[in-house]
Structure 1
Amino acid sequence: MVLVMPRSWLAGLRSRLGGTSASEDGLGILAFEAAAAMSRLVSLHRSLSDEEVRRLRGDVLRGEGVARLTSTDQPLLLRLACGELLADLDRAAATAARLGARCRGPDAPFLGGFDLVYADAKRGTGGLARLDAAVGFSRGAGKRLRKMERHVAATAKLYAEMDALTELEASERRMEQWMQHSGPIPAQSSSKTKRDEPSDKLLRELRLQRQKVRRLREASLWSVPVHKATKLMARSVLAVLARVSLAFAAVVPGLPPPLAAGRRTRAPGHSSGPLHQPTTMAPDAAIRHSAPIFRQNDAASTTSLSQSIKPPATTVGGSGMELRYANVILSAEMLLSALRPATRDEDVQDGMMELSMRDELYKMLPVTIRSAVKANLVERLRGQQVDDEAAAAAMDAVERVLRWLGPMAHDTLRWHDERGMERKQRFSMSPRVPMVQTLHFADRRKAEAAIVEVLVELSCVCWYQDQRRRPADWDD
């Protein structure tokens, strides 16, 4: 994701701090784009660690929600997970290639044509075995990782302090405008001194903030030469590609072959081995309602792998409804929590809160789901007796579905938050939620059926609660 900033912000920054673009003296304003790419590379490094790869295979891809709504085909799910990693890597590689075009010196042929180098490496024609000697993908990976972590942390701090400086300068301009329009002050009046006190304090804060920003510029990517930052990113891009190949090539067609076992070395803290062909699931481990909604192509290139994360129109993500459905599910969870047994003194207050939550949830529902819930609810409540056993059964039914549907909704919101443009997320270096464990690839028909089931049973719980709160004389 390319870092985008308002033109007015950039113009003010250039006039105050100098430096309009990257040069051999430093990256300048492009430091933020480079830091975002480096944070993505660090995140990818960590996502390919032994622990994360084991979690992907053991927990994420075998989760009940994924099996019910997406697929139980493990090679297919691995292909989707690998495709997302490659798509993220492609974005970092594109940043390295753009910056590489600005480079001069002995590394210019490698960095200036990095887009071709990367394309060759993805096809396998560049030879990842050559990468082992030329780039030292394992030998220097740990050192490069730590260096990028330091660069990202320092540049993120610079970004925050520049934001603070912009706010202070805006306050200074407002103060000057106020003083210009407040009229003349009598020479003998003591109010002039009082009026100048806030202005003097603001000027001191501005001076200190500018000094802080100046120091952070020197300690961050802002002052790092273009060729050094680009070389660091380019080598890391190829190192991550080699690690993806090492981890997934055994089960995902289209990846370049991993390094020969005899040449393979391991970087400290990042020693994930290849993923072996998954064993066949036991009959009782397969979930009856799994949804094999994709067809796995035969031999595919890494380009098609990167594009494989575009979901079909029959999926929740393909219809653009994943955020809306996730919010509906989370609202259902909150309403369920509010409906749990309460003390008699809390009944009235809880009842008012439940009514508000029900109203909000109802407004969130798409027309198709709203109609399905109404139709199913009429049938469900026909002749239904109001007793504790029926209420408990409805509550259990809701909890049973939300036990596997709820985590997918939470992961969907987290996935979108992690890819937001806020500074905290833009420079985050933690492993990200895999798209495959969200509602993105979920079969829309099956997802809607699960949501309708939750809402129907939840409506029954609400109805039982309402009947329980009714005064006895209402029935006379």
Structure 2
Amino acid sequence: MPAGARSWLADLRARFGGGGDARQEAGLGILAFEAAAAMSRLVSLHRSLSDVEVRRLRADALRAEGVARVTSTDQSLLLRLACGELVADLDRAAGTAARLGARCCAGAPFLHDFDRVYAEAKRGNGLARLDATVGFYRGAAKRFRKMERHVAATAKLYAEMDALSELEASERRMEQWMRHSGPIPAQPGPSAKRQVPEPGEKLIHELNSQRQKVRRLMESSLWSVAAHKVSKLMAKSVLAVLARISITFGAYVPGLPLLTVGRAWALRRTSGPLQQAASPATAIRHSAPIFRQKDTAFSASESIKPAASTVGGSGMELRYANMIVCAEKLLGQLWPAIHSDEVDTGMDLSKRDELYKMLPVTIRTAVKAKLRESWRGQPVDGAEAAASMDAVDRMLRWLGPMAHDTVRWHDERSMERAQRFSMRPRVLMVQTLHFADRHKAEDAIVEVLIGLSCVCWYDDERRRPADWDDDD
């Protein structure tokens, strides 16, 4: 390590959070919501890197049949894709910590320079020594629990401020109505003292109560926490997550910072090295070697950038996922109808139209061409319909989970309140259609649609009146 880097590390403990007029520093205010969203991402990453989740990723997610068929069977490649997304999420959280650190008082140079500290740590400049200096891994579990409480309180504040905004909008509408309608005449008798109608009194009472609730939550959430405290908590947690990523993926992902594992780093490593797939012949036959197999250096942004030949590279992953989910619903609707001797004349046929309208031109053209080639207008009997339904069911068993994970991936990264502060482990892109080979995915979707068309033809024939062909 260069002498300058050693000197920088040796000086960190004395500089970290020391001095400065922190007593005069105000709370985060409106920035509390950005901080809470970044904290929720850090907690989610921390949970995703637990032994249980890492085992699930290696044993289930990366070995799923759909991933093997349309993405790749190269486990090292899949691990690099998974690691790249985790590091990209961590980069965003680190950026928030650095922006908050820049607001801190002059006596906390570590926080002021956190973007540089994080960049150096990612390049492998003494991450383990950095922990020995600032102690970011010691007490990490306690810090993550603290962040969980901060996120929960700030999310509650966000919801209650939304409710307050709605009440204030109702108050404005009531005031406008009263201005246009004129004053309300006083009623004779004991009620003459009542100047505001009862609905208005109820609204004012709710407003006062809601404002008090919001004030209490402001005091107990990140809204009132000083920026240097939040930045320090997040900065140490960012480095702890980076260390955990390095320990978990370092053996499989080139370019991650290397750690000297000592007593401080003696984490449970129950997840062993990856093994070959259970059926390598089948998996290799369906693999899609669409990425570079060897990288000289690891880059999060580059590792998760989909190639043009992938579904994600074409921007069609969510549309294809919705088509597959719709096909699953249609299959579930047709299954009891085909396997029953009675014709369900009241069955809703709107799912067919919905699925057809979702098809892009390329898929629709391919389906029509294959239908002309396969059936040539010949009638479909019950045996053919049952065989087609079974084939569709088998394909959707591996294609469906990828579609549902794709929809969930997009939902989890939306800005809706329910997802913005979510702290549970997230679906990774490697589990979705994002990195799937586009031609393989489209071929599978076309096969599903061909099978469903066969079943629908048979179902339509059963619905036709017996004397339909005899009418002139």
* Normalised TM-score (structure 2): 0.89
Please state if 1:132 is matched with 2:126. Answer: no
Q: Is the 8 A contact 1:248 1:274 kept in 2?
A: no
Q: 2-side partners of 1:134 and 1:178: how far apart?
A: 64
SS in 1 for 2:177: helix
Per the alignment, residue 417 of structure 1 pairs with 411
Per the alignment, residue 12 of structure 1 pairs with none
Q: CA deviation at 1:136?
A: 2.9
Per the alignment, residue 316 of structure 1 pairs with 311
Q: Is the 8 A contact 1:49 1:272 kept in 2?
A: no
Please state if 1:331 is matched with 2:326. Answer: yes
Gaps of 5+ in 2: 1-23
RMSD of equivalent CA atoms: 2.0
Letter in 2 for 1:47: S
Percentage of matched positions with identical amino acids: 73
Aligned to 2:434, which of 433, 436, 440? 440
Aligned to 1:289, which of 286, 300, 306? 286
Q: CA deviation at 1:282?
A: 5.6
Structure 2 matches for 1:52-91, cutoff 5 A? 52-91=53-92
Q: 2-side partners of 1:464 and 1:309: how far apart?
A: 44
- Decide whether aligned partners of structure 1 residues 137 and 278 sit closer, same or farther in structure 2, where only a CA change above 3 A counts: farther
Per the alignment, residue 372 of structure 2 pairs with 378
The total of aligned residue pairs comes to 443
Per the alignment, residue 120 of structure 1 pairs with 120
Please state if 1:349 is matched with 2:346. Answer: yes
- The superposition leaves residues 415-469 of structure 1 with CA deviations (integer Å, 9 ceiling, x where unpaired) of 0000000111010000000110000001111111000000011000000111122
Q: CA deviation at 1:473?
A: 2.1
Q: 2-side partners of 1:256 and 1:285: how far apart?
A: 36
Q: CA deviation at 1:244?
A: 0.3
- The superposition leaves residues 363-393 of structure 1 with CA deviations (integer Å, 9 ceiling, x where unpaired) of 1100000000001011221374532211110
Q: 2-side partners of 1:370 and 1:383: how far apart?
A: 18
Q: Is the 8 A contact 2:312 2:434 kept in 1?
A: yes
Per the alignment, residue 340 of structure 1 pairs with 335
Q: CA deviation at 1:133?
A: 1.2
- The superposition leaves residues 246-265 of structure 1 with CA deviations (integer Å, 9 ceiling, x where unpaired) of 00010100100023245423
SS in 1 for 2:265: coil
Aligned to 1:362, which of 322, 332, 356? 356
Q: CA deviation at 1:474?
A: 2.4
Q: Is the 8 A contact 1:251 1:275 kept in 2?
A: no
Per the alignment, residue 243 of structure 1 pairs with 244
Per the alignment, residue 32 of structure 1 pairs with 33
Per the alignment, residue 3 of structure 1 pairs with none
Structure 2 matches for 1:128-277, cutoff 5 A? 128-187=127-186, 193=194, 196-266=197-267, 271-272=268-269, 276=273
Q: Is the 8 A contact 2:310 2:438 kept in 1?
A: yes
Per the alignment, residue 403 of structure 1 pairs with 397
- The superposition leaves residues 264-290 of structure 1 with CA deviations (integer Å, 9 ceiling, x where unpaired) of 234xxxx45676364576644634221
Q: 2-side partners of 1:393 and 1:280: how far apart?
A: 29
Q: Is the 8 A contact 1:137 1:242 kept in 2?
A: no
Q: 1-side partners of 2:226 and 2:187: how far apart?
A: 57
Q: 2-side partners of 1:327 and 1:396: how far apart?
A: 21
Q: Is the 8 A contact 2:54 2:271 kept in 1?
A: no
Task: Identify the range of structure 1 (333-342 vs 56-65) with the bigger mean alpha-carbon deviation.
Answer: 333-342
Q: Is the 8 A contact 2:75 2:274 kept in 1?
A: no
Please state if 1:391 is matched with 2:394. Answer: no
Q: Is the 8 A contact 2:88 2:301 kept in 1?
A: yes
Q: CA deviation at 1:347?
A: 1.1
SS in 2 for 1:311: coil
Q: 2-side partners of 1:346 and 1:96: how far apart?
A: 63
Q: CA deviation at 1:297?
A: 3.4
- Decide whether aligned partners of structure 1 residues 131 and 183 sit closer, same or farther in structure 2, where only a CA change above 3 A counts: same
Q: 2-side partners of 1:291 and 1:404: how far apart?
A: 16
* Normalised TM-score (structure 1): 0.89
- Decide whether aligned partners of structure 1 residues 277 and 466 sit closer, same or farther in structure 2, where only a CA change above 3 A counts: closer
Q: 1-side partners of 2:277 and 2:67: how far apart?
A: 17
Q: 2-side partners of 1:445 and 1:416: how far apart?
A: 22
Q: 2-side partners of 1:256 and 1:273: how far apart?
A: 21
Gaps of 5+ in 1: 1-22
Q: CA deviation at 1:198?
A: 1.2
- Decide whether aligned partners of structure 1 residues 471 and 171 sit closer, same or farther in structure 2, where only a CA change above 3 A counts: same
- Decide whether aligned partners of structure 1 residues 140 and 188 sit closer, same or farther in structure 2, where only a CA change above 3 A counts: closer
Q: Is the 8 A contact 2:246 2:259 kept in 1?
A: yes
Q: Is the 8 A contact 2:380 2:454 kept in 1?
A: no
SS in 2 for 1:313: coil
Task: Identify the range of structure 1 (182-191 vs 42-51) with the bigger mean alpha-carbon deviation.
Answer: 182-191
Q: 2-side partners of 1:461 and 1:287: how far apart?
A: 31
Q: CA deviation at 1:346?
A: 6.3
Q: Is the 8 A contact 1:31 1:222 kept in 2?
A: yes
Letter in 1 for 2:466: A
Q: Is the 8 A contact 1:250 1:277 kept in 2?
A: no
Q: CA deviation at 1:86?
A: 0.2
Please state if 1:456 is matched with 2:450. Answer: yes
